[in-house]
Every structure is written in structure tokens, then in C-alpha cells.
């Protein structure tokens, strides 16, 4: 909505303020049905806080009544304290020193983002540092004033590179001739923190969902959108803790729709698929066959397979087993602190945790052959290596081996053309459950923290559950059949 021509466009100290009330309305939105996974339209409640400031009408929308009531209460308190009202953010702000709204530099989103990254850097995992830096850099490029000059694709790349290598990289000394340019640019055009509204954040989320850095179309997975959103929102939470914001504008932004976290049945590979895919990878180099089969038959995550060492294989035991002890982080060196180890613990577990998985006979033979031909003899040496004898880099493996093997194995019309390396783990766990492996045993092998997580994830791809359940129910009914009331 375009504000009236007489509405101020800069913060001022109002003399009259009144909250008209909190009004409930019903809107129709698209949501994802938890059971079917389909997108459906549903009616939901929204709550509008409507208020007048010196005769100018404003409103703010929330998803919950409590949020709306809290916001209205804060408005009353801020007016009573004599604070300035910002028409752009539709809320009260702290009055600057000297009483002149333009007397001192306004804190921008860029300023708070830099401070937030510097404070949190040491507490993050290396991969978290890289991902948070990426998402916050994207927000810095998008949360700019309306009159900011448009950047070309090359400038966007350069600005993103500067943000990641300098501004959002604590204790980094790498500089180049462009540093001064981008520091001035963000200092001039970054959106003032108090001016960021829910409309800006809606636009940010939608852009990230369907565009890459330079604006090319793409579709980001819902889980990735949720993670990016959480990272940027954390910057605003930090600002509120520092009392730089009176109200978090994310409160008025609809959350990401919940999605079905179960496994897509169309992407579950059978043992025959696994063997064919392993053979295709072996076509690039024979050493990759055991790497693929170990994930597809023992349910290891890709990072866990990369981190396996000779001492983790117990191929002469009865039964033969593999012990997964953690993963190997392949993020660049600049994201590691001095002395920080690249070995990461098992997902959701402690630093010294491990889990043991039995090895089926066909994989025992493949692993013995693999170890004899390519693995070094020291117990601390890695089991799986690339063609140069070094540790496998998963990004390079997917680009140089996996994608070509997948295309050669499955027809162009098959959904399996979309399988990822991580889907090897899904194939293994699905196979265990369909083969009748007891649930608690499957949980121990897979490493899921709770049985409910395992069932919620894999229940939809267990074969024959309906038929088996119905047959057992009918047997129970037949064993306790009630007398026929019409029989004589």
C-alpha cells in the first residue's frame, strides 16, 4: 500500500497515539498436508494490530493472538517513554542523541550481521560457519534500501566474495583493492535495521527459494530454505538482545510449511540397483565399487564411509562388522580454528561415540579384495581412496563418478535419475526393515537417536505392511468369532 502524500517518511516524536484494537480475520493459504504430502488450501486465522499515530493509520499482522497483544503493549510503552516513531518499520525506535533523527549513523543490517558473525564464530562447527556465512552474505546483498543501485552479475559475485573473505570472516587479513569500495557501498546502502519490515523478509525468503546469487532461476529444497531463514533470523534475535530492535519483524512472517520428512518411495533402490550402480562406478575405477556397496548395504552416511579406517573393519570376526566412529569434514581450511580437528563425531552423538553394523557376506568378499588391492596396511589409514591414493572428496566424487554412473545405470524416464549419494543409506535401512530386521536392531545399526525417528522416516517405504496387518487382524477376528444370532 502506498502511504499518503502527507505521511512523514522519517522518524518523528508523535504527540497522539491510539491502538484501535486487535482484529481477527480468516485467510486462505497453501499448506502441505502431513499425511498425503500434497499442497492443499486451508483457512487460518490472522490478527491485525491497527493503530493511529498523529492521525496516520498503520497496521501489523501476526499469526498468533499473543504476539499481536504483546506488540500492542510494546507500542503503548514506547509512546509513553517518548520514543520516535519510524513510519517505514511501523514501530517506535530509540531516539538518537541530540534529538535529531539524522544526528548519528543509523545501525544497519550489515553492521549487526558483521558483529553477530564475529561473536558466534568460535561456537559454530566449521560447516556451520561456512553455511551461516553464505546465508548472511546473501541477506546483506538483498536487505538494501529501495534506491540502492542495481548490481550486475559480476558485481554481485564480487560483493559476495568480499563479504565471505573479509567482512564476515573474523580475524581475516586478506584484502584487495576492492575492499574499500564494498565497505563504502554496504555502509551507504544497507537497510537500516529498524526499517526492516516483514515485507522485506518475505521478499528475502522468496528470492532465496527460487533464485541463485545472480538471479538465475532455481528451486531450493524446503529444508534448505528453513535453514537459511533460521540463520538470518538469528541475526535479528541478536539485535533484540542488544536492544537495537524493539520488535522482531520475523514474528509477522509466516513460517515455512511443514513437509513430510519421510523417504520418497520412488528414490529407494533395490539390491539389484545397488549392484548395478556400484558396477557403473567401478567402470571409472574398480576401487569405487566397495565404497558404494558399503553405504548401500551397511547404511553408512557418505561422510562416515569416507572416514573409515583399517581398524574399523573387522572382516575376520563372526559375524564380520564395521564400526562407524565419525565423519571427515571437507570444508576449506579457513573455516577451522587453529588446532581444530577435521574429524567430527557421529551425527547427534558425543565426541567418542560409535556404532557397529554387521557386514553381509557379499560385501565381506568385496571389502577383503578392496583392502588387499588399495588400502594401506597401517590401522590408522583410510579404507577408501581416490584414484590418486588420497582421501575421497565427496564433491569431486559426485561430479566425476556418481553423476555419470547414475545416468548410465537408470533410464532417462526413471525417478532414480535423481538419487543422491545419501540415498544409498536409505536403500540399506529400507532393505533391513523390509527383510524383517527387528526395529530396535535396525535403529542400533542406523544410528537414529530414537525409534520414533526411524519409524517416522521409513514407515512409508516398508513393503506389505497393509497386507500383513490385515491378514493378522482377520486371523484374530476368526479366532474369536461371535455367535451368529440367526443360527438355530
- pLDDT tens digits for range 363-405: 999 999 999 999 888 999 999 999 888 899 999 999 999 999 9
What confidence tens digit (pLDDT) does each residue in 143-158 have?
A: 999 999 999 999 999 9
How much is the average pLDDT of 325-351? 85
Report CA dihedral (431, 434, 437, 439) to the nearest 10 degrees.
100
| Least confidently predicted of 256-265, 316-325, 395-404, 443-452 | 256-265
Percent of the chain with pLDDT over 70: 89
pLDDT for the residue numbered 371: 93
* 462 pLDDT higher than 90: no
* 32 pLDDT higher than 90: no
Report the largest interatomic distance among the alpha carbons of the chain, rounded to a whole angstrom.
102
Burial of 110 (0-12, 13-18, 19+ CB in 10 A): buried
* 1 pLDDT higher than 60: no
Class of domain 265-463: mainly alpha
* 99 pLDDT higher than 50: no
pLDDT for the residue numbered 104: 46
How much is the average pLDDT of 313-329? 92
How much is the average pLDDT of 464-471? 67
* 54 pLDDT higher than 50: yes
Higher pLDDT, 88 or 249: 249
Only one residue has cell 583392502, namely 371
Mean per-residue pLDDT of the chain: 86
pLDDT for the residue numbered 461: 76
What confidence tens digit (pLDDT) does each residue in 57-96 have?
A: 999 888 778 878 888 888 888 888 888 888 877 888 765 4
Q: Tell me how far the alpha carbon of residue 228 is from its chain's centroid.
A: 6
pLDDT for the residue numbered 250: 92
Domain ranges of the chain: 17-99, 109-252, 265-463
- Tell me the pLDDT band of 97, cut-offs 50, 70 and 90: very low
Of 211, 232, 230, 229, which Cα lies nearest the Cα of 220?
A: 211
Amino acid at each position: 500500500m502506498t502511504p499518503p502524500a502527507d505521511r512523514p517518511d522519517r522518524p518523528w516524536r508523535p504527540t497522539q497515539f491510539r491502538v484501535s484494537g486487535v482484529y481477527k480475520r480468516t485467510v486462505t493459504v497453501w499448506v502441505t498436508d502431513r499425511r498425503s504430502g500434497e499442497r492443499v488450501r486451508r483457512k487460518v486465522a490472522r490478527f491485525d494490530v491497527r493503530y493511529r499515530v498523529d492521525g496516520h493509520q498503520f497496521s501489523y499482522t501476526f499469526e498468533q493472538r499473543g504476539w499481536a497483544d504483546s506488540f500492542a503493549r510494546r507500542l503503548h510503552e514506547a509512546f509513553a517513554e517518548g520514543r520516535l516513531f519510524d513510519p517505514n518499520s511501523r514501530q517506535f525506535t530509540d531516539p538518537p542523541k541530540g534529538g535529531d533523527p539524522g544526528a548519528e549513523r543509523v545501525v544497519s543490517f550489515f553492521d549487526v550481521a558483521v558483529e553477530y558473525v564475529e561473536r558466534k564464530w568460535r561456537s559454530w562447527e566449521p560447516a556451520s560457519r561456512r553455511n551461516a556465512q553464505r546465508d548472511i552474505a546473501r541477506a546483506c546483498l538483498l536487505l538494501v534500501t529501495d534506491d540502492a543501485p542495481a548490481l550486475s552479475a559480476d558485481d554481485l559475485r564480487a560483493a559476495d566474495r568480499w563479504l565471505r573473505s573479509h567482512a564476515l570472516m573474523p580475524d581475516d587479513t586478506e584484502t584487495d583493492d576492492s575492499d574499500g569500495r564494498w565497505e563504502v557501498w554496504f555502509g551507504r546502502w544497507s537497510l537500516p535495521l529498524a526499517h526492516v519490515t516483514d515485507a522485506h523478509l518475505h521478499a528475502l525468503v522468496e528470492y532465496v527459494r527460487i533464485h541463485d546469487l545472480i538471479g538465475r532461476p532455481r528451486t531450493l529444497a524446503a529444508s534448505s530454505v528453513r535453514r537459511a531463514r533460521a540463520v538470518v533470523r538469528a541475526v535479528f534475535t541478536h539485535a533484540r538482545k542488544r536492544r537495537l530492535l524493539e520488535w522482531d519483524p520475523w514474528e509477522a512472517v509466516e513460517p515455512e510449511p511443514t513437509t513430510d520428512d519421510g523417504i520418497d518411495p520412488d528414490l529407494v533402490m533395490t539390491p539389484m540397483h545397488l549392484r548395478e550402480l556400484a558396477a557403473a562406478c567401478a567402470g571409472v575405477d574398480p576401487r569405487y565399487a566397495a565404497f558404494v556397496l558399503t553405504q548401500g548395504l551397511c547404511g553408512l552416511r557418505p561422510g562416515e564411509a569416507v572416514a573409515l579406517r583399517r581398524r574399523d573393519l573387522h572382516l575376520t570376526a563372526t559375524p564380520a562388522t564395521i564400526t562407524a566412529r565419525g565423519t571427515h569434514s571437507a570444508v576449506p581450511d579457513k573455516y577451522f580454528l587453529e588446532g581444530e580437528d577435521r574429524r567430527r563425531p557421529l551425527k547427534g552423538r558425543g565426541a567418542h561415540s560409535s556404532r557397529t553394523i554387521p557386514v553381509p557376506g557379499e560385501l565381506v568378499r568385496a571389502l577383503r579384495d578392496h583392502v588387499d588391492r588399495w588400502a594401506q596396511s597401517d590401522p590408522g589409514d583410510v579404507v577408501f581412496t581416490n584414484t590418486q591414493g588420497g582421501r575421497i572428496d565427496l564433491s569431486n566424487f559426485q561430479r566425476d563418478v556418481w553423476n555419470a554412473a547414475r545416468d548410465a545405470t537408470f533410464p532417462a524416464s526413471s525417478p532414480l535419475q535423481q538419487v543422491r549419494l545419501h540415498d544409498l543409506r536409505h536403500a540399506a535401512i529400507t532393505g533391513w526393515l523390509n527383510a524383517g530386521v527387528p526395529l530396535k536392531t535396525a535403529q542400533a545399526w542406523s544410528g537414529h537417536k530414537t525409534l520414533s525417528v526411524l519409524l517416522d522416516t521409513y514407515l512409508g517405504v516398508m513393503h506389505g505392511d497393509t497386507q500383513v496387518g490385515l491378514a493378522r487382524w482377520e486371523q484374530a477376528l476368526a479366532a474369536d468369532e461371535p455367535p451368529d444370532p440367526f443360527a438355530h
